[in-house]
Amino acid sequence: MATYVLVHGGGHGGWCYRQVARILRAAGHEVHAPTMTGLGERSHLMGARIDLDLHIQDIGAVLHYEDLREVILVGHSYGGMVVTGVADRMAERVGRLVYLDAATPRDGQSLRDIAGPIIESARPFGEVVDGVELVLLPAPGAGAFYGVTDPDVVAWMDERLTAHPWKCFEQPLKLGNEDALWAIPQYHVVCTSTLTTRDPRLIAEARAAGRLWDIDTGHDLMLTEPRAVADALLEIAAS
């Protein structure tokens, strides 16, 4: 039995993994899909102290308090920043690191550094609430921004997407245990359309090692292609 911790991206929550988690559990695996502070069902906790470091602490606390080891740690989109930070701080608990169409940061990089044009394009449409700059404000049909085309899924997302603190996207990731971090086997499950935007060396190495899956779908691939994503995660557990 494998243990998965599925980390969501910006504006989302653990809810976005519902179908993937159901498939993995049906195959006999343990699955955790936590929601980070200020988002999803924890959106009532929004506040000025929410940043990348706090979200790393959120997920690290799940590994600690659930006493999870040899975890397959999966991060989607912004979640790639978070899982990299968690693996750096808790390498002894992480067995595999999976980037699900995610940011793949290095020391000192922020999501703004990695995905600047996309992130910056969202900023003018944000707002400041109680002193917190928020972006990715939910609006009818916002699922289309994440590459979701099924109107039923978009409507379902409309009821669940939440705003995200800008501070999370501009805070640099600080790594302190890189030897242990980069010794963890890394896997990449990406959208075909984003392959050309990624580090060619990283993609080539992943492909040569049999650690690359590309799925021809939108950015929220866990919602648009849950079976394909789950199958990739099952293959990673078996590798």
Q: Is-contact 131 47, C-beta < 8 A?
A: no
Closest listed residue to residue 147, CA positions, set 191, 92, 208: 191
Find the Cα–Cα–Cα–Cα dihedral 89, 91, 189, 31, rounded to 10°: -90
Closest listed residue to residue 231, CA positions, set 77, 30, 24: 24
**Angle made by CA atoms 120, 126, 122, in degrees to the nearest 5:** 30
Closest listed residue to residue 213, CA positions, set 197, 191, 181, 234: 191
The active-site residue out of 77, 121, 193, 239 is: 77
Q: What span, in angstroms and rounded, lies between the C-alpha atoms of 88 and 82?
A: 10
Compute the Cα dihedral for 217, 220, 221, 225 and give only its sign: negative
Q: What span, in angstroms and rounded, lies between the C-alpha atoms of 148 and 156?
A: 11
**Which H or E run contains 156?**
helix 151-158
Active site residue 77: yes
Q: How many CA atoms lie within 13 A of 32 on its CB side?
A: 22
Q: Which residues are catalytic?
A: 77
